[in-house]
Structure 1
Amino acid sequence: MATMDQPLAARHIQNYTEASSLEPHWGYVSRAVPCTNDAGSCAYLDLVYGSHDRGMLYSGILWCTLGGVLFLWALGRRLWPSRRADEIVNVDTERELAAKSSSSRLRRSLACYGRSYLLPDSVRSVFGRTTRLQVLVLAVLSGYLLIWSFVGITYKTWITPVKSSPGLYNTRTSIGPWSDRVGILAYALTPLSILLSSRESILSLLTGVPYQSFNFLHRWLGYIIFAQGSLHTMSWCIVEIKLYNPQPTTAVEWITQTYMIWGLVAMTLLLLLFVLSMPFAIRLTGYEFFRKAHYVLAMLYIGACWGHWEQLKCFLLPGLLIWFLDRGVRYARSAMLHYGFLPDGSVGFKAAHANLTHFADAEHGDVVRMDFSHSQDAWKIGQHFYICFAECSIWQSHPFTPLNLPVVKGGVVAHSYIFRAKKGETKKVAELALKKLSENKSATTPLILSGSYGESIAENLTPHVNVLCVAGGTGITYVLPVLLSLVQQPAMTDRKIELIWAIRKRADMGWVEQELNIIRQAAKTHEVPIHIFVTREQSSASLLDDSKTSEKDANVKETGSGSSSSSSLNGALSSSSLEVKRIGGRESGTHPDLQKMVGRFVENTVRGPTTVYASGPGGMISDLRAIVASCNSGAKVWKGNERFDVRLTYDDRLEW
């Protein structure tokens, strides 16, 4: 942005009128050579430009390192892909080959060691419900940035005369070059931050890691950029206001320059981004306000950074392109889902229309079930869609996981979802459904879909893997498709499949009555024990008597001090191994003993590894991380005992 006749050039004490040439420096103003200032000033300029050039080099090394890691990761996925379930022809042969293969046992035992140490939460008071692995990745990145922030800088002080004010001196130190280095790194990290936040994630395509798993790094990288920007700003304030003379003339001339005004604007926007992303601010303003304000402030911040130091636009332009590409692909995916042939034969936009079923719950928020069919390709189990409730607001969309299997029939796929309506858009939908039902109208609403997003969670579920599904409340939507897929496959000898579901009231089982009925129908060939824990329901002698009667008629085992009963649901589950246990009262916070139940499941498996699928409150997921980590034993897996190879696959969207 600066040229030789602008104040920025004069700030660097360079005499352009006596220079024989201008020496270009990428990302910085050109240098006048030879230097005709005093020896101290010339030495300082050598440091400024040398440190800047190395900073640009280090930024390039940073991006080359990231690119190399992603390349090797993607190459490894291509060269050593995980075996898919549909590729396994003979399960016993597959087990024998895996047991005899030293490379396979080594890989799995190392994975077990990694899970046992890196899966649990780490410093929850600081990082929230985040695995040690993610914190380790953050620590490595932070250490890498810390090294590049300080190396290649000569730390020295020069006292130089002020030409315009005889008798006054400037104190020139390494603070200026160091703050420039930090500023360069902040610019260089901007496109990475946007990459980590993208829903249409390039990183997910390369690594296979779901885009939502990068949210933690995106948030903390934002904190790092804020710290870098703050240090850059404060350092130059010290230099221009304290170390340079005469004062206050120098400070006033510095702060009123155009590039400095844009710098202050950028820092103000970065401060707003930081404050509004804090948990207390999100709770105060609402998630939707945070999300939209984040978009706007981020784009304005990049624009202000461009105005502050245009020479570093090589980092800003890719960030803008990534963001606009992400938004464009989102709209294109929605258009592909909804544009097609209309009933009159024309081509146009057609919203999906969902039938709403309302389950009243005045204490904890009503639950709504949505069922509809849509013309599209099938998604993969575990993927989710962003759904916009067009009748309520076209400016918001929310992620929902289908609870049914993706089966295409006549070019149409059925969708089923449940969600608890607490506030915001989901509460509007519940109120809309209740209003239409009270008016004896058809409870339907138009929807706009975007997706599918995420990775398959059942593609690599080979027949010898034992499966334990753990869900809390509406988290059942994540694990049900896995169970429905398994019961449609041939039954496997010695394979264990089990469901643990914690709900507040027994009547909540009605949310997924149809899907539980499908599991019942497969009970003749598949043994799928279902343990349902009712955590918040008052005891009642009459209800207990009804439960005992239902147990005789429906072969449903009921334990505990009492719970309500649904005769239609009990009838649907007449052949399944279902246990309903009341473990808490109306105000109780009691939860199932997952440590005991998961440990017992793993110990009772005959052979083969175990995969735990989980979805529910953050506390439950944190407990399961620690429990699953304790079940892993790399030493035992190396000796051929596969039972101690336990994986956890969970829906971390509930932690947003």
Structure 2
Amino acid sequence: MAVSPANLVLSTRAHIQNLSEAKSLEPHWGYVPRSLPCTNDAGSCEYLDIVYHSHDLGILYSGIFWASLGVILLVWAVGRQVLHPQPSGLRLPIIIPPGEGTTSRPGFFQRLQQTLSSLARRHLLPDASRPIFGRTTRTQVLTLLVLTGYLTVWTFVGIVYKKWITPVKASPGVYNTRTSLGPWSDRVGTLAYALTPLSIMLSSRESILSLVTGLPYQSFNFLHRWLGYIIFCQASMHTISWCVVEMRLYQPQPTVAIEWIGQLYMIWGVIAMFILFLLVVLSTPWGIRLTGYEFFRKAHYVLAMLYIGACWGHWAQLSPFLLTSLIVWFIDRGVRLARTALLHYNYLPSGHMGFLPATANIAFFPDPQNGDTVRLDFHHPHDAWNIGQHFYLCFPESSIWQSHPFTPLSLPTNGTGNQRHSYIFRAKKGETKRIAEISARRSLKTSAVETSPLSDAKLSVILNGPYGENIGRDITPEANILCIAGGTGVTYVLPVLLSLAAQSHGRDRKISLVWVVRQKGDMEWIAPELSILRRFVKTSGMTIQIFVTRAATLTTTSGPGIDSSSSSNSEGKEMHTKEAATSSSSSADSALSVHGLSDAERSPDHVHNRPNLDEVVSKFVQGVVRGRTDVVASGPGEMISQLRSIVASQNQPGKVWKGDERPDVRLLCDDRLEW
């Protein structure tokens, strides 16, 4: 078939083909058409055969990669329905009469599942190499290694490793050196394009991966970051390899190199590589600390779109991968806006329907030394969220361009159209500091006439969410619950305890809270909730331990929502602070105790009295009568890392296989994987 004149226009990306002599063009998806018949020398024609064959295999392998990912997700989704068929939403409590419980030996498949889960937690739950991966579980790193190994196979398989020495027609006596470096470089470039949609999917808040796997979107942040590093390495190898080919192996030099780098598609390639370099540098921990998180986040969005556009200009033949990436990104943004609009579409004061932010009451807790704390309370009409989920809050009176994730400490209520939201957060810098300053000013204006901690100071709030997973579904009625929180991390564990307070329990079930705060006054943050838990302590046998780590004067067990009757000492005797290195407001057997510092340790810079988490978890697990233990935790990264190792060591797969569920210990925390 003759080639039309339009197809005879010399393409700058036609490789070494002579399109003017072509009788037909053979299409190759993702590459320039092949000119047939080949009129070059035998070596060059053989080289072109290898180039196109390797590219076609690269496209095939990219398809196999995505097909493999699809099969994994399909199996995962089916497995979730088979192994965890619970309906979404809050679980209805199963009431276990006192003294009764599950005593029958679990079946073979149930024991096998529990044993494998316990074995995985024991070896994969602790942090991996922290200097390299940060506070990341071994599970995440193992997933990364499997992905890297899989991509490595597709990078090298099917490449014909050979060298050809071919003459240069325009320069007699000059020869080109053609090697498999060119086809291999194209392969890694193709894979980099193919991975771009996956990278966008891993960063999405409205994540289809979360819908399929049940894992919260934040669980994919680690893979998103490291997949970006992999794409950067692939792009770098692609760039360096072609620089070697065009600037060294092809002759004559520097003529070939100058003509090559001046082509439009190469200019776009250089721009894409530079933008990708900026993306990687700004996403490193030190880059984020240097520029600030908000700058990183907004710059990341802009640079990512510019990078995709530059890649399109560099090699439009692979644009379907880039178009898919853009579609995923815009769907994520569109769904976010739609969810926010629907969440706030309500009756306006005028009686008409429209967009109406929530109005929160402010409670301001000044603490110049450690950072001021703000509590927000408001009601908003919408469906109940799930325990463990969080919302993104935007404060339009400060900035409409920022939103931050906060976990509500209030308990969602099913069957009602009006939900109560309560949040606490400590002001650090940036947006939270500005909100604290606004709260302080408005609280001062009303403090002269208001003595309640929740004054008439108001603040507009725009909600987006909920996001995250339903840990209320994962906590079964027979599980023993140990809640450990540090500072404002108590917001994650409080809904669990409040939901348990509304249930009936068997006497063998253990429930405990360990909360670490800096000052005794920090307990004022959750005074209403502590009052509820105080009553729960009396009826359920639950224990509460509050550790005050900085200077505080404790005279009695009384505190916000806590009085002397809240102790398990039914006589209601007043207990005073013990003058010891770690003093306690109650005896070791007390159900509710506040541990503070002695007068000798009352130095603002002196930190003592942190609980021994290893001892806390071990003692709790050893005291379990039946059932597994769920450790629900939220707090500083160091605490979570320590708990991962502790919980992993508590798992004993051998005993679980024999039917003893007690050494089957799970960790449920903000950034956890589903175990």
Q: Distance in 2 between matches of 1:620 and 1:74?
A: 32
SS of the residue corresponding to residue 20 of structure 2 reads coil
Question: Structure 1 residues 562 and 545, CA, compared in 2 at 3 Å: closer, same or farther?
Answer: farther
CA deviation after TM superposition for structure 1 residue 341, in Å: 1.6
Q: Distance in 1 between matches of 2:575 and 2:28?
A: 77
Q: Is 1:129–2:135 an aligned residue pair?
A: yes
Q: Is 1:483–2:486 an aligned residue pair?
A: no
Deviations 1:200-231 (A, max 9, x none): 01000000001100000000000000111111
Q: Distance in 2 between matches of 1:544 and 1:385?
A: 36
Q: Please name the residue that 2:477 is paired with.
A: 463
Q: Distance in 2 between matches of 1:171 and 1:305?
A: 28
Q: Please name the residue that 2:571 is paired with.
A: none
Q: Is 1:33–2:36 an aligned residue pair?
A: yes
Q: Please name the residue that 1:284 is paired with.
A: 290
Q: Is 1:586–2:600 an aligned residue pair?
A: no
Q: Is 1:45–2:64 an aligned residue pair?
A: no
Q: Is 1:324–2:330 an aligned residue pair?
A: yes
CA deviation after TM superposition for structure 1 residue 248, in Å: 1.1
Q: Is 1:495–2:514 an aligned residue pair?
A: no
Q: Distance in 2 between matches of 1:123 and 1:9?
A: 44
Q: Distance in 1 between matches of 2:137 and 2:558?
A: 44
Q: Distance in 2 between matches of 1:589 and 1:60?
A: 56
CA deviation after TM superposition for structure 1 residue 381, in Å: 0.6
Q: Distance in 2 between matches of 1:448 and 1:587?
A: 38
Question: Structure 1 residues 78 and 94, CA, compared in 2 at 3 Å: closer, same or farther?
Answer: farther
Q: Which residues of 2 match residues 237-636 of structure 1 at below 5 A?
A: 237-407=243-413, 411-440=417-446, 442-537=456-551, 543-545=553-555, 555=567, 561=579, 577-582=591-596, 586-590=604-608, 591-636=610-655
Contact 1:479 1:613 in 2 (8 A): yes
Deviations 1:403-433 (A, max 9, x none): 0101268521110000000111111111111
Q: Is 1:214–2:220 an aligned residue pair?
A: yes
Q: Which residues of 2 match residues 105-144 of structure 1 at below 5 A?
A: 105-144=111-150
Q: Distance in 2 between matches of 1:411 and 1:252?
A: 68
CA deviation after TM superposition for structure 1 residue 83, in Å: 5.0
Q: Distance in 2 between matches of 1:34 and 1:353?
A: 74
Q: Distance in 2 between matches of 1:473 and 1:634?
A: 33
CA deviation after TM superposition for structure 1 residue 554, in Å: 6.0
Q: Is 1:6–2:21 an aligned residue pair?
A: no
Q: Distance in 2 between matches of 1:270 and 1:208?
A: 31
Contact 2:534 2:566 in 1 (8 A): no
SS of the residue corresponding to residue 317 of structure 2 reads helix
- 2:516 partner amino acid: A
Match of 1:95 among 90, 98, 102: 102
- 1:460 partner amino acid: D
Q: Distance in 2 between matches of 1:430 and 1:183?
A: 48
CA deviation after TM superposition for structure 1 residue 101, in Å: 0.7
Q: Which stretch of structure 1 is more off in the superposition, 155-164 or 454-463? A: 454-463
Q: Distance in 2 between matches of 1:428 and 1:563?
A: 38
Q: Distance in 2 between matches of 1:161 and 1:560?
A: 92
Q: Is 1:64–2:82 an aligned residue pair?
A: no
Q: Distance in 1 between matches of 2:8 and 2:185?
A: 22
Q: Distance in 1 between matches of 2:558 and 2:396?
A: 46
- 1:142 partner amino acid: T
Question: Structure 1 residues 547 and 645, CA, compared in 2 at 3 Å: closer, same or farther?
Answer: closer
Question: Structure 1 residues 107 and 176, CA, compared in 2 at 3 Å: closer, same or farther?
Answer: same
Question: Structure 1 residues 345 and 389, CA, compared in 2 at 3 Å: closer, same or farther?
Answer: same
Q: Which stretch of structure 1 is more off in the superposition, 550-559 or 529-538? A: 550-559
Q: Which stretch of structure 1 is more off in the superposition, 122-131 or 281-290? A: 281-290
Question: Structure 1 residues 563 and 603, CA, compared in 2 at 3 Å: closer, same or farther?
Answer: closer
Question: Structure 1 residues 516 and 265, CA, compared in 2 at 3 Å: closer, same or farther?
Answer: same
- 2:537 partner amino acid: A
Question: Structure 1 residues 492 and 553, CA, compared in 2 at 3 Å: closer, same or farther?
Answer: closer
SS of the residue corresponding to residue 305 of structure 2 reads helix
Match of 1:176 among 175, 179, 182: 182
Deviations 1:117-137 (A, max 9, x none): 000000011000000000000
SS of the residue corresponding to residue 258 of structure 2 reads helix
- 1:143 partner amino acid: G
Deviations 1:40-72 (A, max 9, x none): 101110111010000000000000010000000
Higher helix share: 1
Specify every segment of 5 or more residues in structure 2 that has no aligned partner in the other structure, as ranges.
1-5, 448-455, 568-573
Q: Which stretch of structure 1 is more off in the superposition, 29-38 or 106-115? A: 29-38
Q: Which stretch of structure 1 is more off in the superposition, 486-495 or 519-528? A: 519-528
Contact 1:505 1:563 in 2 (8 A): no
Q: Is 1:165–2:171 an aligned residue pair?
A: yes
CA deviation after TM superposition for structure 1 residue 94, in Å: 7.7
- 2:10 partner amino acid: Q
Deviations 1:115-172 (A, max 9, x none): 0000000001100000000000000000001111111001111111111111111111
Contact 1:637 1:643 in 2 (8 A): yes
TM-score where L is the length of structure 2: 0.91
Q: Distance in 1 between matches of 2:521 and 2:332?
A: 42
SS of the residue corresponding to residue 408 of structure 2 reads coil
Question: Structure 1 residues 610 and 57, CA, compared in 2 at 3 Å: closer, same or farther?
Answer: same
Q: Distance in 2 between matches of 1:75 and 1:407?
A: 30
Q: Which stretch of structure 1 is more off in the superposition, 82-91 or 333-342? A: 82-91
SS of the residue corresponding to residue 391 of structure 2 reads strand
Q: Please name the residue that 2:19 is paired with.
A: 16
Contact 1:557 1:578 in 2 (8 A): no
The count of residues paired between Structure 1 and Structure 2 equals 637
Contact 2:59 2:190 in 1 (8 A): yes
- 1:611 partner amino acid: D
- 2:605 partner amino acid: E
- 1:448 partner amino acid: I
CA deviation after TM superposition for structure 1 residue 548, in Å: 9.5
Contact 1:421 1:430 in 2 (8 A): yes
TM-score where L is the length of structure 1: 0.93
Deviations 1:16-48 (A, max 9, x none): 232221111010000011211111101110111
Specify every segment of 5 or more residues in structure 1 that has no aligned partner in the other structure, as ranges.
571-575
Deviations 1:604-650 (A, max 9, x none): 01010000000000000000000000000111001111100000000
- 1:524 partner amino acid: K
Task: Provide the identity percentage.
Answer: 59
Q: Please name the residue that 1:573 is paired with.
A: none
Contact 2:374 2:425 in 1 (8 A): yes
Contact 2:43 2:165 in 1 (8 A): yes
Q: Is 1:644–2:648 an aligned residue pair?
A: no
CA deviation after TM superposition for structure 1 residue 463, in Å: 1.5
CA deviation after TM superposition for structure 1 residue 586, in Å: 3.2
CA deviation after TM superposition for structure 1 residue 363, in Å: 1.2
Question: Structure 1 residues 546 and 481, CA, compared in 2 at 3 Å: closer, same or farther?
Answer: closer
Q: Distance in 2 between matches of 1:42 and 1:237?
A: 22
